């Protein structure tokens, strides 16, 4: 397949994943803000903006005003925000269009219809009463796309590049959420175990759709250490770092199998895999969670860059 096509499917998948993650994060932020007073909820919204790495763009438009409706409209549809959900869906669709011949008709139509539907839903500012519905619509559309991919795509290089894009993006997202909660939202050790702390952890789980799974595994006990372990190391949870790394590895080695050669990305991938094999939550916390996550985000990014180069994404 063409390098440009690999690039298009990879980024299509990343943008779709990012759109979904942003809407999940908003959902968690919204819920958290509902349980707090106006002033405190500003902090939650600030953390949402921080998590997606849009602080500079946001403050250029709205200054320090972290009112809920400003934040969610910024993240959902603001023209000045290249990372808005709408912009992501548009970018995903543009990429899909440029690699139209690599996609099944059903995948293309699912993406195209999602774009048409969400463009309509996000044509006007979203009011608080409609926010839940809008976020639900985003999730539903992304689920439809995922279903079309799962049900119709040939399991070949095209599928590998799509999956690689998905898991690079997802791992990055889970890592950022965890980092913001642990590093930014936790003002002092004294807060640990407070009810606010618990609400925040619950919202983290919610943002990665893991609240039900976690409760199921832990009989409802909210424990930061347990949650961190779950989000980083639990291979059964589809949004954990370990799960993403595992999928990344299997798709990357799928490519090596199909092409008959390995690349520098495979070496980096092996190193990343080893890090996970030798880690448990004790060693991670000992070395510092923030440091662990910062290293992870950088390694994940390096793998992505190596893939772009090794497989000739650009001329």
Partner 1 sequence: MSHSPSSFDEMIAADSSIREAYSGYRDWYDGQDQAALRRKGKEAEGFFRKTGITFNVYGDNAGEERLIPFDMIPRIITAREWRKLTKGIEQRVRALNAFLHDIYHRQEIVRAGRFPQRLIAENAAFLPEMVGMVPPGGVYTHIVGIDLVRTGPDDFMVLEDNARTPSGVSYMLENRETMMAMFPELFSKVPVRPVQDYPRRLAKSLAACAPACAGENPVVAVLTPGIYNSAYFEHSFLADQMGAELVEGSDLRVIDGRVAMRTTCGYTPIDVIYRRVDDEYLDPLTFNPDSALGVPGIMDVYRAGRITIANAPGTGIADDKAIYSFMPEIVEFYTGEKPLLANVPTWRCSEADSLAYVLDNLAELVVKEVHGSGGYGMLIGPTSSRKEVADFAVKLRAKPENYIAQPTLALSTVPIFTKAGLAPRHVDLRPFVLVSPQGIDITPGGLTRVALKKGSLVVNSSQGGGTKDSWVLED
Inter-helix orientation angle 128-152/105-121, to 10° = 170
Alpha-carbon distance of 98 to 222, in angstroms, equals: 45
Q: Say how many residues touch partner 1, by CB under 8 A.
A: 23
Q: Which phi and psi (to 5°) does residue 217 adopt?
A: -80, -25
Least spacing, CB of residue 81 vs partner 1, in Å: 19
DSSP class of 183:
I
Least spacing, CB of residue 61 vs partner 1, in Å: 23
The reply to whether 108 sits near partner 1 by the rule CB under 8 A is: yes
Output 43 or 262, the one with its CB closest to partner 1: 262
Contacts (CB under 8 A) with partner 1, residues 255-284: 255, 259, 261
One residue of 34, 40, 60, 116 binding partner 1 per CB under 8 A:
116
H or E segment to which residue 240 belongs: none
Output 94 or 198, the one with its CB closest to partner 1: 94
Cα of first residue to Cα of last residue in the chain, in angstroms, is 14
The reply to whether 311 sits near partner 1 by the rule CB under 8 A is: yes
Output 98 or 279, the one with its CB closest to partner 1: 98
Residues ≥6 apart with Cβ < 8 Å to 91: 11, 15
Q: Which phi and psi (to 5°) does residue 35 adopt?
A: -90, 5
Least spacing, CB of residue 134 vs partner 1, in Å: 21
The reply to whether 201 sits near partner 1 by the rule CB under 8 A is: no
- Contact pattern for partner 1 over residues 51 through 90, marking x by CB under 8 A: ----------------------------------------
The reply to whether 6 sits near partner 1 by the rule CB under 8 A is: yes
One residue of 40, 80, 101, 283 binding partner 1 per CB under 8 A:
101
Distance from chain centroid for Cα 52: 9
One residue of 31, 61, 62, 112 binding partner 1 per CB under 8 A:
112
Q: Is 230 within 8 Å of 237 (Cβ atoms)?
A: yes
Among the candidate windows 39-47, 72-80, 96-104, 193-201, which touches partner 1 by CB under 8 A?
96-104
Output 6 or 137, the one with its CB closest to partner 1: 6
Alpha-carbon distance of 246 to 113, in angstroms, equals: 31
The reply to whether 3 sits near partner 1 by the rule CB under 8 A is: yes
Q: Could you tell me where the DSSP H helices lie in 35-84?
A: 38-51, 55-62, 68-77
One residue of 43, 59, 106, 113 binding partner 1 per CB under 8 A:
113
Q: Is 5 within 8 Å of 312 (Cβ atoms)?
A: no
Alpha-carbon distance of 58 to 66, in angstroms, equals: 9
Alpha-carbon distance of 61 to 207, in angstroms, equals: 25
82 C-beta neighbours (distance < 10 Å), count: 11
Alpha-carbon distance of 68 to 45, in angstroms, equals: 6
Among the candidate windows 72-80, 94-102, 166-174, 175-183, which touches partner 1 by CB under 8 A?
94-102
Task: Please give the residue ranges that form the binding site for partner 1 (CB under 8 A).
Answer: 1-4, 6, 94, 97-98, 100-101, 105, 108-109, 112-113, 116, 157, 255, 259, 261, 311-312, 315
């Amino acid at each position: 397949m063409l390098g440009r096509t690999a690039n298009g499917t990879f980024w299509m998948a990343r943008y779709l994943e990012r759109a979904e993650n942003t809407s999940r994060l908003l959902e968690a932020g919204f819920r958290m803000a509902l349980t707090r007073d106006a002033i405190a909820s500003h902090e939650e919204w600030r953390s949402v903006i921080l998590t997606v790495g849009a602080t500079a763009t946001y403050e250029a438009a709205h200054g320090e005003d972290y009112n809920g409706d400003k934040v969610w409209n910024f993240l959902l549809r603001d023209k000045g925000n290249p990372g808005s959900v709408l912009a992501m869906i548009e970018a995903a669709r543009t990429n899909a269009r440029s690699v139209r011949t690599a996609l099944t008709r059903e995948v293309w139509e699912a993406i195209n219809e999602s774009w048409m539907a969400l463009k309509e839903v996000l044509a006007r500012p979203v009011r608080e009463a409609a926010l839940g519905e809008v976020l639900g619509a985003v999730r539903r559309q992304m689920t439809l796309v995922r279903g079309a991919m799962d049900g119709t795509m040939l399991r070949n290089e095209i599928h590998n590049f799509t999956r690689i894009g998905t898991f690079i993006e997802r791992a990055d997202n889970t890592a950022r959420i965890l980092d913001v909660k642990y590093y930014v939202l936790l003002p002092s050790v004294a807060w640990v175990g407070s009810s606010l702390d618990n609400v925040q952890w619950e919202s983290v789980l919610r943002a990665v759709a893991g609240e039900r799974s976690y409760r199921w595994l832990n009989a409802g006990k909210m424990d930061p250490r347990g949650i961190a372990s779950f989000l980083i190391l639990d291979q059964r949870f589809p949004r954990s770092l370990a799960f993403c790394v595992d999928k990344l590895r299997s798709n990357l080695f799928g490519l090596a199998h199909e092409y008959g050669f390995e690349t520098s990305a495979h070496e980096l991938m092996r190193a990343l895999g080893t890090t996970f094999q030798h880690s448990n939550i004790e060693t991670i916390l000992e070395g510092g969670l923030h440091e662990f996550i910062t290293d992870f985000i950088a390694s994940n990014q390096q793998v992505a860059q190596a893939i772009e180069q090794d497989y000739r994404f650009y001329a």
